């Protein structure tokens, strides 16, 4: 857990991509349920729009933590002070783009990835390492397996076999000796049920209307259990993650002035490294380093957007390795609101204190866990990727007036035009220049230089304007779930800055829009107009 006196020299963040659809089509699972699996708006294994928005919001929340640690500045990152690496899959690329939008809003930063679908050995040392081929060694049948079976067939444990025969369906566990196979399937199906909930699907379609968030929390432990024996257990974890862990350790070592034959993830040996990977990467790394972060109040150990943070910090003249998680709950993922997400210290086997290791303790743990035969000393060849993101698309205008910097006392402006063809909004918003100065043709380098001088006030102003544009456009196109997400973000951004009119209007709109997937209450259109009016009043010409 972060300590008030900690100052991070380098901080490495490994997190899972955002909310995706199940990796296989519904047809693969029809034999196991006597009701229809919910339809998804994207192809199998792809990031959803809600997943994109969630990763953007998680990026914003993560930025707060990294700035507080001293690992990241409030202004746009310079040089290699931020290195963002994404795996090669489309969902990881899109998650990297979304995370970047929240982590460095308006900065035009890039992320690194391999070309095309090339396997990245940081995330999968060999392409087929993540195939779950190894049989799981389990003890007794976990109670959650019976609960999952009840959800799938709408039965009680004593009647499930009869209902399966009646409906022509398959049981998860047909014979006691089939438990490893049943657990592999159960891990997948429990994950699919969770994904439907966090995607914000109507509750009568989530778990076939047979499970609330509490029940889903019990069922998702099957995914934890499956990973415990196939991903986290040694030697499987070491075979899969030694390469990644070796480069993480090399990065921490370099920041501490220790030279090794393994390349650091950042050439600057300081700042922030963010790795956008998979739930398997989190489990593998936990196995190699002896980490445990299970929290009964947030039962999913590997949620979408869940992060493991490892930092070399200085405290009272001494250096230590700090290891925390920053994990969203299922409710937070469904609502797309992460302001209540908190760091939690990780238990590290072999370290004296939760979430803290001496440099020597951590080095000994890593040495025991890493299989040197599975380490490539050099980094893979990755290229800077710009990617695409959710950006304003129309020319809605907000009149701007100078805003007195509450911290520095200088006068700041944001762009007076969003969507100007000469100056895309993702370059204009969150700058200290007027649109005339920024959009009339300065170079990208000049724009970035101007951006270095901005304060947190300007970031907040730009984010509110960005969210308002997206909120209104989503409503026009009928995508009210995006409007809900944007309204909640506007409220959460405005309240801490004392922008009470905006915050109250956004809260009122949120109440009228209701939860994801629901029908909005009458008057939400007028409430949305009121939010825009409050923004114009706060940032406009008066």
What pLDDT was estimated at residue 403? Answer: 32
Q: Which residues contact 380 (CB under 8 A, 6 or more apart)?
A: 114, 120, 121, 122
> Which SS3 state, helix, strand or coil, does residue 279 take?
helix
Bridge partners (DSSP) of residue 112 are 85, 384
Lowest-confidence pick of 143-152, 418-427, 466-475: 418-427
Higher pLDDT, 400 or 451: 451
pLDDT exceeds 70 at position 440: no
Mean of pLDDT values over 111-119: 93
Going by C-beta distance under 8 Å and a sequence separation of 6 or more, which residues neighbour residue 94? 17, 18, 46, 47, 51, 52, 387
Terminal C-alpha separation, the chain: 44
Q: 201, 517 in Cβ contact below 8 A?
A: yes
The answer to which of 7-11, 71-75, 492-496 has the lowest mean pLDDT is: 492-496
**CA 149 to CA 85: how far, in whole Å?**
39
Residue 321 CA to residue 360 CA, distance in Å, equals: 9
Residue 310: helix, strand or coil by DSSP? Answer: strand
Mean pLDDT throughout 128-137?
53
| Beta carbons of 45 and 81 less than 8 angstroms apart | no
Give the model's pLDDT for residue 139: 67
Whether 412 has a pLDDT exceeding 50, the answer reads no
How does the average pLDDT of the chain come out, rounded?
Answer: 83
What lies within 8 Å, CB to CB, of 419 at 6+ separation is 392, 393, 394, 395, 396, 425, 469
Alpha-carbon separation of residue 222 from 184, 321, 477 (angstroms): 9, 31, 39
pLDDT band per the 50, 70, 90 thresholds, residue 402: very low
Which of 143-152, 235-244, 290-299, 451-460 shows the lowest per-residue confidence on average (mean pLDDT)? 451-460
Between 396 and 20, the higher pLDDT residue: 20
**Cα R_g (the chain), whole angstroms:** 24
Using omega within 30 degrees of 0 as the cis cutoff, is the peptide bond preceding 235 cis? yes
Domains of the chain: 9-312+324-389 (3.40.50.1240), 403-539 (no CATH)
According to the model, what pLDDT value does residue 281 have? 98
Query: What's residue 481's pLDDT?
Result: 86
Looking at the chain, the whole-number percentage of residues with pLDDT higher than 90 is: 63
Please write the tens of the pLDDT for every residue from 255-294. Answer: 999 999 999 999 988 899 999 999 999 999 999 999 999 9
Which residues are bridge partners to 314 per DSSP?
Answer: 7, 319
Question: How much is the pLDDT for 398?
Answer: 29
Q: How confident is the model at residue 392 (pLDDT cuts 50, 70, 90)?
A: very low
Strands 318-326 and 356-358: antiparallel
Cβ neighbours of residue 226 closer than 8 Å, sequence gap 6 or more: 136, 183, 184, 186, 187
Tens of pLDDT, residues 454-469:
434 445 667 788 788 8
Q: Which neighbouring-strand residues pair with 86?
A: 276
Q: Which tokens sit at 213?
A: 């968030």
The predicted-structure confidence for 165-183, as pLDDT tens digits, reads as follows 999 999 998 776 788 889 9
Q: SS3 of 444, please?
A: helix
375 or 526, which is more confident? 375
| Packing angle, helices 359-369 and 236-255, rounded to 10 | 150
Predicted confidence at residue 175, as pLDDT, reads: 73
Kindly indicate the confidence band of residue 417, based on its pLDDT and cuts at 50, 70 and 90: very low
Which one, of 38, 452, 83, lies nearest residue 265 by Cα? 83
Residue 15 neighbours by CB under 8 Å, 6+ apart: 58, 99, 274, 275, 276, 277, 282, 305, 306, 307, 308
What are the pLDDT digits (tens) for 471-491? Answer: 888 887 788 888 898 898 898
Residue pair 314/54 in contact (Cβ under 8 Å)? The answer is no
Higher per-residue pLDDT: 519 or 139: 519
Examine the pLDDT at 448 and tell me if it is beyond 90.
no
Q: The tokens of 227 are what?
A: 């990973």
Q: How far apart are CA 239 and CA 126, in angstroms?
A: 9
For the cut 70, the answer to whether the pLDDT of residue 219 exceeds it is yes
CA distance 416 to 412: 12
Judge contact between 337 and 57, C-beta under 8 A. Answer: yes
Q: Averaged over 26-37, what is the pLDDT?
A: 95
Provide the phi-psi class of 387: left if phi over 0, else alpha when psi is between -120 and 50, else beta.
left
Is the CB of residue 68 less than 8 Å from the CB of residue 272? no
393 pLDDT exceeds 60? no
Is 251 within 8 Å of 264 (Cβ atoms)?
yes
Residue 407 has pLDDT above 70, yes or no: no
Helix H segments across 325-431? Answer: 330-335, 359-369, 425-428
What DSSP designation does 475 have?
A: H
Contact 345, 367 (CB under 8 A): no
**pLDDT of 9 above 80:** yes
Q: Give me the percent of the chain exceeding a pLDDT of 70.
A: 82
How many Cβ atoms are within 10 Å of 504's Cβ, its own excluded? 16
Q: How confident is the model at residue 453 (pLDDT cuts 50, 70, 90)?
A: very low
Q: Is 27 exposed, middle or buried (0-12, 13-18, 19+ CB in 10 A)?
A: exposed
In this structure, of 56-65, 236-245, 358-367, 492-501, the range with the lowest mean pLDDT score is 492-501
Per-residue pLDDT band at 4 (split at 50, 70, 90)? low
Per-residue CA distances from 308 to 364, 368, 494 (Å): 20, 20, 28
Beta strands in 129-197 (DSSP E): none
Query: Among candidates 323, 306, 309, which has minimal Cα distance to 365?
Result: 323
DSSP 8-state symbol, 269: S
Task: Please give the pLDDT value at position 489.
Answer: 85
């Amino acid at each position: 857990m972060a300590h008030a006196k900690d100052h991070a020299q380098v901080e490495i963040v490994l997190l899972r991509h955002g909310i995706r659809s199940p990796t296989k089509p519904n047809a693969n699972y029809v034999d196991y349920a006597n009701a229809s699996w919910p339809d998804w708006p994207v192809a199998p294994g792809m990031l959803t729009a809600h997943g994109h928005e969630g990763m953007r919001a998680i990026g914003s929340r993560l930025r707060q933590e990294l700035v507080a640690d001293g690992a990241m500045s409030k202004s746009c990152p310079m040089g290699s002070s931020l290195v963002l690496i994404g795996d090669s899959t489309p969902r990881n690329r899109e998650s990297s783009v979304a995370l970047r939008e929240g982590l460095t809003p308006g900065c035009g930063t890039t992320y690194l990835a391999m070309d095309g679908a090339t396997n990245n050995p940081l995330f999968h040392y060999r392409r087929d390492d993540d195939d779950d081929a190894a049989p799981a060694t389990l003890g007794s049948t976990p109670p959650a397996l019976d609960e999952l079976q009840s959800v799938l067939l709408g039965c009680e444990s004593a009647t499930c076999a009869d209902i399966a025969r009646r409906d022509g369906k398959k049981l998860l566990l047909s014979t006691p000796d089939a438990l490893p196979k049943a657990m592999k399937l159960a891990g997948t199906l429990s994950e699919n049920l969770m994904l439907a909930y966090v995607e914000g699907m109507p509750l009568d379609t989530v778990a076939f209307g047979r499970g609330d968030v509490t029940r889903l929390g019990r069922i998702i432990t099957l995914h934890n259990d499956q990973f415990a024996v196939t991903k986290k257990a040694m030697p499987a974890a070491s075979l899969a993650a030694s390469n990644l862990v070796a480069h993480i350790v090399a990065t921490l070592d370099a920041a501490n002035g220790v030279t090794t034959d393994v390349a650091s993830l950042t050439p600057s040996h300081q700042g922030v490294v963010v790795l956008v990977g998979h739930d398997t990467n989190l489990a593998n790394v936990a196995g190699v380093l002896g980490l445990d972060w299970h929290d009964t109040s947030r039962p999913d150990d590997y949620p979408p957007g869940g992060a493991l943070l490892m930092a070399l910090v200085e405290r009272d003249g001494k250096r230590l390795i700090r290891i925390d998680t920053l994990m969203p709950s299922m409710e937070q993922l469904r609502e797309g609101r992460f302001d209540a997400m908190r760091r939690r210290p990780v238990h590290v086997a072999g370290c004296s204190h939760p979430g803290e290791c001496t440099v020597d303790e951590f080095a000994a743990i890593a040495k025991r866990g890493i299989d040197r035969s599975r380490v490539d000393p050099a980094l893979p060849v990755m290229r800077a990727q710009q990617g695409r993101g959710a950006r304003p698309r129309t020319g809605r205008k907000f009149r701007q007036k100078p805003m007195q910097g509450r911290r520095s006392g200088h006068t700041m402006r944001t762009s007076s035009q969003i969507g100007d063809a000469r100056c895309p909004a993702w370059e204009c918003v969150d700058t200290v220049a007027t649109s005339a100065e920024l959009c009339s043709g300065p170079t990208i380098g000049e724009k970035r230089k101007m951006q270095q001088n901005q304060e947190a006030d300007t970031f907040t102003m730009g984010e509110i304007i960005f969210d308002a544009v997206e909120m209104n456009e989503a409503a026009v196109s009928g995508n009210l779930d995006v409007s809900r997400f944007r309204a909640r973000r506007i409220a959460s951004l405005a309240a801490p800055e004392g922008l009470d009119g905006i915050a109250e209007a956004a809260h009122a709109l949120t109440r009228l829009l209701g939860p994801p997937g629901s029908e909005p209450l009458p008057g939400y259109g007028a409430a949305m107009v009121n939010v825009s009016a409050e923004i114009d009043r706060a940032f406009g010409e008066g």
